[in-house]
Amino acid sequence: MATQMGSEEGFKATIAEYLESLPTQFCRRVFSNPAACLAIFRLLSTVGKQLVMSMLYLETAIKLQDIYQWAKVEHQPLVRSKVHQLRKLQILAEERGTVSLNPVFREQLRNALTGGGDFSSFGIPFTGSTGNRGVSKKWLASYANDRWEAILHFMVGHSADAEPPSESVRGILRMSRLMEDSEDGMKITNSGFQFLLQDPGSQVWTVLLQYLRLAEMQDMDVVEVLNFMFQLVSLQLGRPYSTEALTRNQQKMLSELCSFGLLYQDNVGAPQFYPTHLITSLSSSGASHSGPSGVDNAAAAASGTGRSAIPTGSKATGELAKPSSQGFIILETNCRMYAYTNSALQIAILNLFVHLVNRFPNFITGALTRDSIRRALMRGITADQIITFLTTHAHPQMQGRTPVLPITVTDQIRLWEQERNRLRPTAAYFYKDFGQKQEYERMF
């Protein structure tokens, strides 16, 4: 399974690659779950959704050429590529120039949209007493962000006032090579810094993909784990769900995902659990970062999985809810940096490659120096990653410039990187003990 770091689309493509790698019998088991079919449908592109909905109630196959005619001539290559992707996902089946939806996928997606079939795949709501303590959406948002930010603080080596991550969390960070062991403990890697550049939705998908990899290594039923993931994505935020029908593997997965803040459970063995916005927003159109565009709201309402978005203006939403488009960094041509932030996490990330000088309640100053950049390079962080981070989080006054960052600064960062990479190993062959000069000359 590919685990590349990249844009949000890159993460979705990685999930698609994982589904494409499943054997036919595994896909049939995944498609037999209505919640899984709805989650996969929501992760499709807008054109992919349109193709599926257009064929959802067709009982007979349709010619490929007829599908291509649904689009204008200039857009037909896009439709061809989407049809090809749906075939790789085994959602479409092709035979003699005609295509049709996978009958299992078609039936269960219908059930998901109309409320038929085994609706317990969307979770069994808990009807018992939840105690005197009220678990609201606001409280769940605060809990989830505290857990997730504690992991990010741990990755950047910042001693924030939060409990350290559990051993299972550290194991996944180590297995995914986001962090590695060193003499001074675990430290962030090149992939880990790239992970920090992503939005929370993409970060959560990375963790879930790594958990699938862990499940394979532990000989767990991958389809069972995958279906449970899709079930969690389809749950309603703020509503308690029963653990009574969960299998042993799902109970184990439940406790481990609680360590990441994706779920909340009062204690191990509690009869109910709550999904948090970190996981319910992965396929929601209301998610500002992680949700794919063009989700059919009517379909979500019909399936009973519509969710209310967490208000980003609330203090309980934490640092994760702040859109990355609101930049806070100003960089001068003399490599001096000014950052308008009071986020301990953002300051900790900047400290990886910036020499911090002054810190005020909502403002810090620093500079990019040779030593600070070399310190980052020794951690495995590249010059391009530093430049990307500074560009992404540049202040709106800088965003209007072209280029966004001063060329003198970007060139200097790359020059400092080249100083460390003056010598590069190259594979070579060594020949000796030639018997005659003619043999030596023939070699060249």
User: Which tokens belong to 168?
Assistant: 């299972």
Residue 54 pLDDT: 93
For the chain, how are helix, strand and coil distributed in percent, rounded to 5?
A: 50, 10, 40
- 395 CB neighbour count, 10 Å cutoff: 17
**What is the pTM (predicted TM-score) of this model?**
0.72
Q: Is the pLDDT of residue 7 over 50?
A: no
Contact 280, 237 (CB under 8 A): yes
Report which of 408, 330, 322 is spatially closest to residue 364, judged by C-alpha positions: 330
Do 279 and 262 contact (CB within 8 A), yes or no? yes
Per-residue pLDDT, 14 = 65
Q: Collapse the DSSP code of 358 into the 3-class scheme (helix H, G, I; strand E, B; otherwise coil) and give the result.
A: strand
DSSP label of 228: H
The predicted structure's pLDDT at residue 50? 93
Ranges of H-type helices in 234-353: 248-259, 277-280, 297-303, 344-350
pLDDT digits (tens, 9 = 90+) for 231-280: 999 999 989 999 988 888 899 999 999 999 999 998 878 889 999 999 99
Among the residue ranges 148-162, 177-191, 220-234, 295-309, the one predicted with the least confidence is 295-309
Confidence of residue 185 (pLDDT cuts 50, 70, 90): confident
Better-scored residue on pLDDT, 193 or 324: 193
How far is it, in rounded angstroms, from Cα 70 to Cα 56?
16
Least confident range from 33-37, 52-56, 63-67, 191-195: namely 191-195
pLDDT of residue 115: 83
What band does 386 get if pLDDT is binned at 50, 70 and 90? very high
